[in-house]
Amino acid sequence: MVEETTGLWLVGARGSVATTAVSGLLALRAGLAPAIGCVTELPELAGVALPAWSELVVGGHDVAQTPLDKRAELLAEGGVLPHHLLDSIAPGLREVDGEIRTASFDGVQADVARRLAADIAEFRRRRGLSRVVVVDVSSTEPPVPPQPEHADLAALERALADPGRRVLPPSSLAAYAALTAGCPFVQFTPSTGIALPALDELARRQGLPYAGRDGKTGETLVRTVLAPMFAARALRVRSWAGTNLLGGGDGATLEDPAHADSKLKTKASGLAALLGGEVTAPLHIDNVPDLGETKTAWDHVSFEGFLGARMSLQFTWTGLDSALAAPLVLDLARLVAAADAAGESGALGALAFFFKDPLGSDEHRFAEQTRALHEWARGLG
Amino acid sequence: MVEETTGLWLVGARGSVATTAVSGLLALRAGLAPAIGCVTELPELAGVALPAWSELVVGGHDVAQTPLDKRAELLAEGGVLPHHLLDSIAPGLREVDGEIRTASFDGVQADVARRLAADIAEFRRRRGLSRVVVVDVSSTEPPVPPQPEHADLAALERALADPGRRVLPPSSLAAYAALTAGCPFVQFTPSTGIALPALDELARRQGLPYAGRDGKTGETLVRTVLAPMFAARALRVRSWAGTNLLGGGDGATLEDPAHADSKLKTKASGLAALLGGEVTAPLHIDNVPDLGETKTAWDHVSFEGFLGARMSLQFTWTGLDSALAAPLVLDLARLVAAADAAGESGALGALAFFFKDPLGSDEHRFAEQTRALHEWARGLG
Amino acid sequence: MVEETTGLWLVGARGSVATTAVSGLLALRAGLAPAIGCVTELPELAGVALPAWSELVVGGHDVAQTPLDKRAELLAEGGVLPHHLLDSIAPGLREVDGEIRTASFDGVQADVARRLAADIAEFRRRRGLSRVVVVDVSSTEPPVPPQPEHADLAALERALADPGRRVLPPSSLAAYAALTAGCPFVQFTPSTGIALPALDELARRQGLPYAGRDGKTGETLVRTVLAPMFAARALRVRSWAGTNLLGGGDGATLEDPAHADSKLKTKASGLAALLGGEVTAPLHIDNVPDLGETKTAWDHVSFEGFLGARMSLQFTWTGLDSALAAPLVLDLARLVAAADAAGESGALGALAFFFKDPLGSDEHRFAEQTRALHEWARGLG
Amino acid sequence: MVEETTGLWLVGARGSVATTAVSGLLALRAGLAPAIGCVTELPELAGVALPAWSELVVGGHDVAQTPLDKRAELLAEGGVLPHHLLDSIAPGLREVDGEIRTASFDGVQADVARRLAADIAEFRRRRGLSRVVVVDVSSTEPPVPPQPEHADLAALERALADPGRRVLPPSSLAAYAALTAGCPFVQFTPSTGIALPALDELARRQGLPYAGRDGKTGETLVRTVLAPMFAARALRVRSWAGTNLLGGGDGATLEDPAHADSKLKTKASGLAALLGGEVTAPLHIDNVPDLGETKTAWDHVSFEGFLGARMSLQFTWTGLDSALAAPLVLDLARLVAAADAAGESGALGALAFFFKDPLGSDEHRFAEQTRALHEWARGLG
């Protein structure tokens, strides 16, 4: 029997990304699927001391009740999971589903955080885990208006105890709970989560590493390889327009302009940085339910070359978002666990490779992010 | 009056790329256009000792007789050059045109080479140049069947003197002539040119640097940023299909399957290297005369992600090839001149950044090529 | 000397569409360009009694002062007009510019309408024209809130005389003025213009024909051929998403959501009709100034086939809007003049072929519109 | 129990198209799927006397032995058939599989034809069918060199009896056999099949209708709606380039240039007709096995508008060829059965709607084909 030592606690544990990640983990563990899409299995990272697939134990929070095996069937109909895996992984999915706790955000926020932290601590204790990495893969929240307490941990903790305040959005409350439970945290969605100075302060005080935010899985991934190309060739990008069509739960969430706003902000932040200045860059997200789990993005780049020559590049990306995100969630669990074991704390800028809006790094160029990741990981031991 | 010290000798000096390069050089020198597309003007290369625009003197060989100012008018109609520049640069174009010699390839090849070399030497002497960089921008040749003499300089020189042999294609004869005249050489087209072991031997014996081959200006440029993205994310590319539509002289040349073959070979060579194995990669070049100087490429990439998820990326590139190539020709003239001044000899692998089929390097990843170029250039002094 | 008998009065006579139309008319008249894009020159319409190019005399209203020959130069730089025509057509452009009157919308609306009508009548008289077709090609207005007077001519005329009311938007005031001056009217933009019951009443009372609205020149044109294809093959369209990138004055106008709303409404109206029901059809218009006169539209159609098979079609249209619209303006001038000569009055539904939101017709299928146009035109005599 | 009266005999009865058609027929009959993609179920054809789904009995020839239920499973994995249907239709598939006979093309061609005809006649007799429509959906053959006997039925029949001759390709031998068995014939593939004067002569002598050839399911379908759009708007198409990527058996067959040639010929034939003249129209078919049943086509159309304005339209079609073809096979079986019942004979030009290279019609415009189909079908009764 393998020694299971690392926990992965998923916030939003019954969502599409979580279900795909857990299904994949079970398939990898059973040797039923190759580790395609898993960066930590690349030769470049061979030799880094990471938890094995068999050493990851999964639990999590969710407000939804549909069990994981049922969710996996729905994802198979949507083309994200292969039908032929369902029978083999069903027992494992049921086991993980038994480790999912219902999150309740009712009551004073300090109490909510204590309950959330207690669930994680109980999971760690009961399963005998040396550490638990908490990863937020829940639905995107609307952007949060800044508050003074977000920048000051002591003030934040006072506000959390105030029954009349809701100073933190759920994603940040989950991050707070994780840190107080002594767990590293990964903000995989565009929600605020751990991206607040007060939580950075807490992480450093606790000696915990964290990473985020907003997994870079599709259009933005392509943008962060193409934009440096134009820059390296001294070509002047004049405009970069983008349209995203998506269905599924993500599409419905982002149909609400308030929620979409979070996403659009993290998507746009990199482009100006990459191109060294402002360009006209209209960007849309449309909810197109019939596309289901498939996300289609079209980008049109207009650029200027020698002597004013006008040229263009357009691309269409057709991806299955959950299938792109899930292996990164597993990669992040392994890498952040290793960082924690190595005693790192604070924002892990070397993980910018994984994110649209990297915490702890200003680097958006994908090739540079790749190199930084490899160097950092090899330096872990 | 500026001190003019570096010569640029263009093989194919009245072609589209040459005409655009010379027009641009004149415009840059007169401050009539920004250096968009010129890599050597980027901040990353500031401080490298390169010839100034005003220090470059241009001459060349061609078999065509249409003068440069007339060629520039045609390119303006094709959208490559702006109409408003024509009057300002016409005198400069006429001056350069006066430095173009008619190349004749009749007779024993050793004699042809001597005549070509004499033209270059005479240009250097008359204009008082410290060095002359020879750049081949002439029409693409069909691939050449390998011959034993291509690998042995002494044998090659015997064959050149044999009136019954035509052991070298014109592009390689031009490279041979350049080297014997003491000039560094750049193979900007897919033709064989300097890419023969015997010519490498000659370059090293002469202490001359060279670079090549096949300027990376469009579809392949994009491929060499996208392919490493898939690799870095452990995504498995299943097929990568490409279609190129081009008109102009290039389209007509490449309509001939024999000529297209050279181009298709250099285009394909990188993809397998980048993806770490063979993929289905059909590639076509179609002559579509009405597109004129505009080159349109469509690529369709099918890839597999986590648990067998099938996804795709497609892009359409619409570029003006001459406008993309011309600034690189100027960049190469400057960089190779600097390498020559610094005493480098043999294939300049650090210039892989510029080429589809880099000589002296196995690196096809554009971001790595960019970094290598910057490091090398800064090392020049 | 040809007998000039038909007037074309352009509302927005110095805009891009008007300038292109007038430039083209001058070029056609002088035999300097073929009639590409002119539907009335097709063999299918041979034999219809239409005014010859030489029989059209142009004037118009505008608030802008930049003269037509200057506007033509700007359009040549934008790639809409060929440089080589400019010298030949400059005298003709200056002559037409002399027939452009400054429109003022200050004061009581009834007085404004009288002044506008007087300008047109004076043009007709002075140039000895048998009739004048008025075509609105001015900038798109925001949608107008409905008012009771829009449905009742007598009430409308009372409101026009009320100094405290502005019951009609400028485009409708122009239409009212044209009709009171005894002129047929064409609403070529998405503005309200003649599309009000009270103006239909006036047109019928005056015995005048009219047509509109919103010239079908790009994305919508393609949609109205593709949508019937899906219907004829019993394929079920599940979603049809569209994005439009445009610069120029049109892009700036439509950047204002209020103005864009008019356009989006006329664009969407046809799709539901064509597909026989509602589909998810997000549609965006983005102002991308660097694209200038070029308009790029991307459409993504997701459809379902036999046994639930999911498939897609996507297209990218890259058009020069003014070049597409201008010949249609000339066609409409000829056809509406012929309809007027033939005694037709009211909305000319047979001209649905030209419009996104056809007045007098529910037919959006382009092939059916084409057939209806040909039959109607041949019936004119 | 329904009265089963019409037979559908599939040549290539175990191929992808046939398997999809039979699976769909079983699903339609059982009310398990809507008739999406079935033209004969459109309101426009309501009232035409066609065999009901329950009245079609299927059999066929094939050289392959993999049974239909196994083939259906493979197609479900390829995304063509939905998994949830498999159990319900398996018994029906096995029943149809029992009606499939192994075709042998060994021996004197006249004998082969007699054996093929006997199989069909025996099927008709045993199942008590009033008529059997034979549809060729087998793999595409290479083009056949013309022979004098192809134009003369008497000479053809002499050559068929000659043991030393193979005067007909298999598809034409199948057509000959069908006609001699008194059956109408549909050539659904690009193979020669019935498209020979001698077979037309035989069909007319036998009083049998036939239709063909090469089902219009994807890229060509789109072309035949777009090309008339350019023509109706007097826009001049300058080039129309196309690339097709396909996997599956079809991809492998068409990888062989000889087989591809048949396909490319039927695809190209329409374009010149539609555009009223020659245009540059390079067209490629690439075998990309990983795409499986999905067929992706990219077309790039360059066109000229008013005053020489250069514009373009490009589209990408992503279709499941078998899912597009199968309902048309069922439609054709019904319509050709009705034509036979109505006493029509010879090529049914009104079915041009279904084909890339219509027999008995010069009409390639899809909208006109649609109208012709509807009128003809309503005229049947």
Cβ contacts of B334 within 8 Å, gap of 6 or more? B6, B40, B50, B51, B56
Contact with chain B for residue D88, Cβ under 8 A: no
Q: In C, which residues are within 8 Å of D53 by CB distance?
A: none
Contact state of B79 with C83 under an 8 Å Cβ cutoff: no
Tell me which chain C residue has its CA closest to the CA of residue B315: C316
Tell me the CA distances in angstroms from A122 to A7, A132, A210, B57, C374, one per residue in order.
12, 11, 21, 77, 79
C305 touches chain B (CB under 8 A): no
Question: Which alpha helices (DSSP H) does chain D contain, by range?
Answer: 16-29, 68-77, 86-97, 109-127, 153-160, 170-180, 197-206, 219-232, 248-255, 257-275, 321-341, 366-379
Single-letter amino acid code for the residue at C94 = R
| Band of pLDDT at residue C192, cut at 50, 70 and 90 | very high
At what angle are helices C153-160 and C197-206 packed, to 10 degrees? 100
- Any C CB within 8 A of D35 CB: yes
- What token pair was written down for D364? 């390639």
A66 interface with B at CB cutoff 8 Å? no
Chain C interface includes A305 (CB < 8 A): no
Nearest by CB: D290 against B245, B287, B302: B302
Distance from CA of A87 to the nearest CA of D (A): 15
Residue C58 has pLDDT above 50, yes or no: yes
Partner chains of D (3+ C-beta pairs under 8 Å) = A, B, C
CA distance C225 to D370: 13
Cβ neighbour number for residue B342 with a 10 Å cutoff? 12
Asked if D94 is an interface residue toward chain A (Cβ–Cβ < 8 A), one would say no
Collect all residues of chain A within an 8 Å Cβ-Cβ radius of residue C238: 290
Calculate the alpha carbon distances from C197 to C140, C149, C156, C176, D247 in Å.
Answer: 20, 9, 10, 12, 57
Cβ neighbours for B149, distance < 8 A, ≥ 6 positions apart: B155, B156, B158, B159, B167, B198
Residues of chain A with Cβ-Cβ distance to C301 below 8 Å are none
Q: Chain A: residue nearest D314 by CA?
A: A314
Q: How many Cβ pairs closer than 8 A exist between chain A and C?
A: 63
Q: Is residue C60 a contact partner of residue C9, using CB atoms and an 8 Å limit?
A: yes
Where b means 16+ CB within 10 Å and e means fewer, D87-96 reads eebbebbeeb
Cis peptide before D213 (omega within 30 of 0): yes
User: Residue A263 in contact with residue A308, Cβ under 8 Å?
Assistant: no
| Superfamily in which the A219-320 domain is placed by CATH | Dihydrodipicolinate Reductase; domain 2 (3.30.360.10)
Give whole-number Cα distances, B121 to B9, B132, B160, B180, in Å: 10, 9, 20, 10
Using CB atoms, which chains have 3+ pairs under 8 A with B? A, C, D
Main-chain phi, psi angles of C30, to 5 degrees: -90, 5
Per-residue model confidence (pLDDT) at position B1: 38
Residue A304 to chain D, least CA–CA distance (Å): 19
C-alpha C183/C-alpha D103 separation (Å) is 74
Q: What average pLDDT score do residues A66-95 get?
A: 94
Contact yes or no for A36 and B306 at CB 8 A: yes
| C-alpha to C-alpha distance for D252 and A121, rounded to whole angstroms | 58
Chain B contact for D235 (CB, 8 A cutoff): no
Write down the pLDDT at residue D277: 79
Confidence band of B273 (pLDDT split at 50, 70, 90): confident
Q: Could you read off the pLDDT of D68-100 as tens digits, one per residue?
A: 999 999 999 888 999 889 999 999 999 999 999
Q: Is D83 on the interface with A (CB under 8 A)?
A: yes
Distance CA B360, CA D264 (A): 42
- Asked if B315 reaches chain D (Cβ–Cβ under 8 Å), the answer is no
The band of D267, judged by pLDDT with boundaries at 50, 70 and 90, is: low
How far apart are the CA of A361 and the nearest CA of chain D, in angstroms?
Answer: 38
Residue D79 tokens read as 């995304």
Taking the mean position of all CA atoms in its chain, how far away is CA B20?
13
Q: Which residues of D touch B245 (CB under 8 A)?
A: 239, 241, 282, 300
Tell me whether strands D100-102 and D209-212 are parallel, antiparallel or unpaired: unpaired
Return the pLDDT at D272. Answer: 84
Residue C284, classed as helix, strand or coil, is: strand
**Is the N-terminal amide bond of B124 cis, ω within 30° of 0?**
no
Q: Which residue of B has its CA nearest to A237?
A: B36
Find, in chain C, the residue whose alpha carbon is nearest to that of D297. Answer: C313
| Terminal alpha carbon distance of chain C | 26
Residue B198 burial by Cβ neighbours in a 10 Å radius (0-12, 13-18, 19+): buried
Beta carbons of D141 and D250 less than 8 angstroms apart:
no
Among B312-316, C137-141, C172-176, C348-352, where is mean pLDDT lowest?
C137-141
Strand segments, DSSP code E, in B18-95 are 56-62
List every span in chain C annotated with CATH 3.30.360.10.
Answer: 219-320
Chains touching A (at least 3 CB pairs under 8 A) are: B, C, D
How many cross-chain Cβ pairs, B to C, lie less than 8 Å apart? 3
Could you give the CA distance from residue B260 to residue B265 in angstroms, rounded to a whole number? 8
> Is the pLDDT reported for residue C297 higher than 60?
yes
Confidence class of residue A2 from pLDDT cuts 50, 70 and 90?
A: very low
**Above 50 in pLDDT, residue A116?**
yes
- Token output for A210: 């964290």
Collapsed DSSP state (helix, strand, coil) of residue B221: helix
pLDDT at A1: 38
As a whole number of Å, the end-to-end CA separation of chain D is: 26
pLDDT surpassing 60 at residue D372: yes
Mutation target for D interface from B290, B313, B314: give the one with most D CBs within 10 A: B290
Please count the other Cβ atoms lying within 10 Å of the Cβ belonging to residue C231.
18
Provide the β-strand partners of residue A310. A304
Closest chain B C-alpha to A23 CA, distance in angstroms: 9
CB pairs under 8 A between A and D: 3
Gyration radius from chain A CA atoms: 20
- Choice between A269 and D111, residue whose per-residue pLDDT is larger: D111
Q: Which residues lie closer than 8 Å to C150 by C-beta, 6 or more apart? A: C156, C167, C196, C197, C198
C46 has a chain D CB within 8 A of its CB: no
Distance CA A339, CA A336 (A): 5
User: pLDDT per residue over B98-150, tens digit each?
Assistant: 999 998 899 999 999 999 999 999 999 999 999 999 999 999 998 889 999 99
Query: C305 at the A interface (CB within 8 A)?
Result: no
Report, as an integer, the average pLDDT of C13-33. Answer: 97
Does C342 score more than 80 pLDDT? Answer: yes
pTM, rounded to two decimals: 0.95
State whether CATH 3.40.50.10380 applies to domain C6-214+323-379.
Answer: no
Closest to C323 (Cβ–Cβ): which among D24, D27, D309?
A: D309
B316: contact with C, CB 8 A cutoff: yes
Reference D379, options D149, D29, D109, D48; nearest CA is: D48
- For the segment D140-154, the average pLDDT, to the nearest whole number, is 93
Region A314-325: mean pLDDT is: 96
Which residues have a Cβ under 8 Å from the Cβ of C234 and sit 6 or more positions away? D35, D36, D37, D38, D39, D41, D42, D327
Distance CA A235, CA A258 (A): 35
Query: How far B82 CA sits from the closest chain D CA (Å)?
Result: 17
Q: Looking at chain A, which residue has its C-alpha nearest residue B316?
A: A314
pLDDT tens digits for range A235-266: 999 999 999 999 876 777 777 677 677 767 76
The whole-angstrom distance between B328's CA and the closest CA on chain A is 9
Residues A245, C286: C-beta atoms closer than 8 Å: no
Min Cα separation B39/chain A (Å):
6
User: What's the pLDDT score for residue C78?
Assistant: 84
> Which residues of chain C lie closer than 8 angstroms to D41, CB-CB?
234
Where do you find CATH 3.40.50.720 in chain C? 6-214+323-379
Q: What is the pLDDT of residue B253?
A: 73
Report DSSP state, residue A215: B
Cβ-based contacts of C81 with chain B (< 8 Å): none
